[in-house]
Structure 1
Amino acid sequence: MESYAALLRGIMPSNPNMRNDKLRAVFEGLGFENVASVLASGNIVFRTADDPADLEDRIQQALATELGIPGGTIIRSHRELRDLIDRDPFEGRTHQPSTYLTVTFFKDTMREADTTAFDTDPLTRVIGYDPAARAFLTVIDNSVGKTPDFMARLEKTYGKNITTRTWLTIQRVVNKMT
């Protein structure tokens, strides 16, 4: 039996169908064990012996059917996330209110290694792409009171089969999986 994290795209806790209790119920209904939520932004951890290749589609179909959630589902195993943390791609930087360390997970692999979409944005520093985790790593400067148009630029460049989490959230997810 393996531990997994489902990183759900587009979850808004103010929507009654997107609350943690309803999300967990869908996962439990699929027969997964040790289902738990991490924060209120679409992070569900669970254990299963099912084939990981089918998990994303099964979960997304159940979320759409039962709760009307059309967004994307991206799955990562405990090992994949733990290995990412152990690699320390942010080289000891600390996530804080003025500096967000972000991880954008791709459903498959990054379409292209081109990160030039962020070259003109002085508030976004590209750390790189981690192929093992299928994740794009960036540091967002929030110290100037202006939020960069980061999410829109990500979607325009790479499409919607992605979801972004802070480094702190990834650490919390991994801690909940153990």
Structure 2
Amino acid sequence: MSTYAVFLRGINVGGVNIKMADLREAVSTLPLENVSTVLASGNIVCTSDAGPDEVKTLVEGCLRMHFGYEAWVVVLTVSRVKELAAACPYPADSKELHAYITLSSDPEVLDELYQLAGGQDNQDQVRLGAEATAWQVTVGETLDSQISKLSNKPKYKRATTTRNLRTLHKVIAAAE
């Protein structure tokens, strides 16, 4: 049995509002165990005998059926989330800068997004692995950042989601 972190894309922003109790109740109908939600930004921790691709398919279908929106999620083992958070070179808590990790279910989509946002030439962005990039931005400028604008394009929405590094630490803590 594996412990997974499931990161939902685009809930409680842009008109898709889901209460965490309703999300937990809906996802609990799936063949997943120990389902819990973390914060109101669409983070689920659960255990399952299923692989990550099957968990992704199950959760996306559940969200579409129960909440009626085009749902996309990124599913990683919690152990992988720990590795990614530990590899992030940026501080989680800074008064001047926010640290983010963009997660992806499609490495090719993330490759393209990474390159469009400046790739290795962008000193505020680091590739952490096939499924993640880390980036930092001045407080108050997140939505105006190049990577934020790019990742909101339909082409990238289906395969990526971004979380503040502090949120990843909370997801990891919830799984322990």
Q: TM-score, normalised by structure 2?
A: 0.83
Contact 1:115 1:126 in 2 (8 A): no
Alignment of 1:1-178 (within 5 A): 1-12=1-12, 18-87=18-87, 89-90=88-89, 93-111=91-109, 112=111, 115=114, 117-119=116-118, 125-132=123-130, 134-142=131-139, 147-150=143-146, 151-156=148-153, 159-160=156-157, 161-178=159-176
1:40 is paired with a residue whose SS is coil
Instruction: Measure, in 2, the Cα distance between the counterparts of 1:136 and 1:172.
Output: 18
Contiguous gaps of at least 5 residues in structure 2: none
1:102 is paired with a residue whose SS is strand
How far apart are 1:17 and its partner, in Å?
5.5
Query: Structure 2 counterpart of 1:90, which letter?
Result: P
Q: What is the count of residue pairs matched by the alignment?
A: 170
1:62 is paired with a residue whose SS is helix
Instruction: Measure, in 2, the Cα distance between the counterparts of 1:146 and 1:85.
Output: 19
1:37 is paired with a residue whose SS is strand
Instruction: Measure, in 2, the Cα distance between the counterparts of 1:60 and 1:116.
Output: 28
Provide Cα deviations, 1:121-175, integer angstroms capped at 9, x if missing partner. xxx853311225x1111001126x7852442223349621100000000010011
- The 1:13–1:40 alpha-carbon spacing in structure 2 relative to 1, beyond 3 Å, is farther
- The 1:115–1:45 alpha-carbon spacing in structure 2 relative to 1, beyond 3 Å, is closer
Instruction: Measure, in 2, the Cα distance between the counterparts of 1:105 and 1:158.
Output: 15
What RMSD, in angstroms, separates the aligned Cα atoms of the two structures? Answer: 2.7
Q: TM-score, normalised by structure 1?
A: 0.82
Instruction: Measure, in 2, the Cα distance between the counterparts of 1:146 and 1:15.
Output: 20
**Larger-gyration structure (1/2):** 1
Percent of aligned pairs sharing the same letter: 22
